[in-house]
């Protein structure tokens, strides 16, 4: 999946899980759950066969930086609450962790990172319900972004 799709789905998941936590949950607990559910959302969404980024190397790095800055502005920019902003950030970060570990694993070549990456991407593309092309990923991104904007306003 593309980074914006993961960011939006992760942020939406992070906000959604808050509805199921006890009201008296601490900020740390809320942020930890947001991070964890966003990592899980990445793994779950990646089970659907999907289009990937087609740029490589430094071009991909520039694309990811631009996408990250834009999605930060769109997703976090609407938040009126510092706690909600932290939850959205945790959702975005959690959604980025599996692919971030994958990139780091390729850069440094540490066996432990390769093992973790392999486990996180074990079911990558194996749920053959449909193919998430760029258009469909854009639809997911827009719908999740609308949810985040509404919930964080």
Q: Give the per-residue pLDDT at 106.
A: 85
Checking if the pLDDT of 78 tops 80, the result is no
Contact, 92 vs 11, CB < 8 A? yes
Mean pLDDT, rounded, of the chain: 94
Main-chain dihedrals φ then ψ at residue 132, nearest 5 degrees: -90, 90
Checking if the pLDDT of 120 tops 90, the result is no
- 54 — pLDDT class (breaks 50, 70, 90): confident
Who wins on pLDDT, 94 or 57? 94
- 5 — pLDDT class (breaks 50, 70, 90): very high
Compute the average pLDDT of residues 82-91.
98
- Going from N- to C-terminal start, the domains of the chain cover 3-152
Read off the pLDDT of residues 121-147 as tens digits, 9 standing for 90 and up. Answer: 889 999 998 999 999 999 999 999 999
Q: How far apart are CA 105 and CA 60, in angstroms?
A: 16
Compute the average pLDDT of residues 24-45.
97
């Amino acid at each position: 999946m593309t980074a914006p799709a993961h960011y939006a789905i992760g942020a939406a998941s992070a906000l959604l899980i808050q509805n199921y936590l006890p009201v008296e949950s601490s900020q740390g607990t809320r942020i930890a759950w947001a991070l964890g559910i966003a990592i899980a959302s990445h793994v779950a969404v990646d089970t659907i066969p999907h289009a990937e980024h087609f740029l490589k190397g430094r071009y991909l790095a520039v694309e990811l930086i631009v996408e990250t800055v834009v999605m930060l502005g769109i997703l976090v920019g609407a938040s009126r609450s510092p706690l909600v902003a932290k939850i959205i950030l945790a959702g975005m970060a959690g959604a980025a962790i599996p692919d971030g570990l994958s990139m780091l694993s390729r850069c440094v070549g540490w066996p432990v990172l390769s093992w973790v990456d392999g486990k996180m991407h074990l079911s990558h593309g194996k749920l053959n319900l449909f193919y998430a092309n760029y258009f469909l990923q854009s639809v997911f991104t827009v719908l999740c972004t609308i949810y985040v904007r509404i919930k964080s306003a």
